[in-house]
Chains A and B, each alone.
Chain A
Amino acid sequence: GAVVSQHPSWVICKSGTSVKIECRSLDFQATTMFWYRQFPKQSLMLMATSNEGSKATYEQGVEKDKFLINHASLTLSTLTVTSAHPEDSSFYICIPGLADKPTPSSYNEQFFGPGTRLTVL
């Protein structure tokens, strides 16, 4: 079964509000969590790398003050979209770092968060 849970699976919010997405590793500790987003008809693009106990690193073009990442424990990483706008509407997904996975290296869907579909009105 899945070893990564993500919550909520979908959320609709008003423009200007903040939304928190939680990603939990079940049965193993994830020192690293990768956050991706996917706009309609596009591929999954890496947004940021979350490291337990240290600051996240962001990809070029991703605003760190808008997408707050917290990785306070080895089983929980959160992504908060602050002051969300319609252009932030996207599908967000978390994937733990390869070195963290408890079983042979294989990025099958067990090791993916199921994703969060965010719609900002």
Chain B
Amino acid sequence: SQELEQSPQSLIVQEGKNLTINCTSSKTLYGLYWYKQKYGEGLIFLMMLQKGGEEKSHEKITAKLDEKKQQSSLHITASQPSHAGIYLCGADMRGNTPLVFGKGTRLSVIA
């Protein structure tokens, strides 16, 4: 079965610092999604990557998908308290199959 390994499990960074979260799949992905969430609340869509080598940016967040489409990273530049939350990656394996989620990374940004 498809599994997603997400690391680190938690991260505490000082405001203004950069950080990276990784997501690795055991199989080639059709699509890789990044979300932000607070527990008990809905998911906030950040970005979707579908092509090998693809990179997307939105404000201070950049996500990349490797050429093999098995590994993705989410990079936050100059972190702010508003970036705090749980970041989840989700794997889409094509067709009518369920999204598989990574275990999440809990990010705290301290002043």
Contact = CB atoms under 8 A, between A and B. Distances in A.
Interface stretch (B53-61, B67-75, B95-103): B95-103
B99 A107 contact: yes
Interface in B56-91: 88, 90
A1 interface: no
B96 A32 contact: yes
A93 B35 CA distance: 14
Interface stretch (A21-29, A40-48, A70-78, A79-87): A40-48
Given A44-B88, A115-B42, A98 B101 contact: no
25 contacts: A31-B96, A40-B39, A41-B39, A42-B103, A42-B104, A43-B101, A43-B103, A44-B101, A93-B42, A95-B99, A97-B96, A97-B97, A98-B95, A99-B95, A99-B96, A107-B31, A107-B33, A107-B92, A108-B48, A109-B42, A109-B44, A112-B43, A115-B40, A115-B42, A117-B40
Contacts of A115: 40-42
Contacts of A113: 42
Contacts of A32: 96
Given A107-B45, A109-B42, A43 B102 contact: yes
Report, as a range, how many residues of chain B touch the other chain: 20 to 34
A85 B51 CA distance: 44
Interface string A97-121: 1111000011111001111010000
Nearest to B103: A43
B106 interface: yes
Contact of A46 (B44, B100, B104): B100
Given A41-B39, A43-B88, A114-B42, A107 B48 contact: yes
B85 to A, nearest CB: 13
B42 A49 contact: no
A52 to B, nearest CB: 12
A32 B104 CA distance: 25
A49 B98 contact: yes
B88 to A, nearest CB: 6
Contacts of B102: 43
A115 B44 CA distance: 12
B48 A106 contact: yes
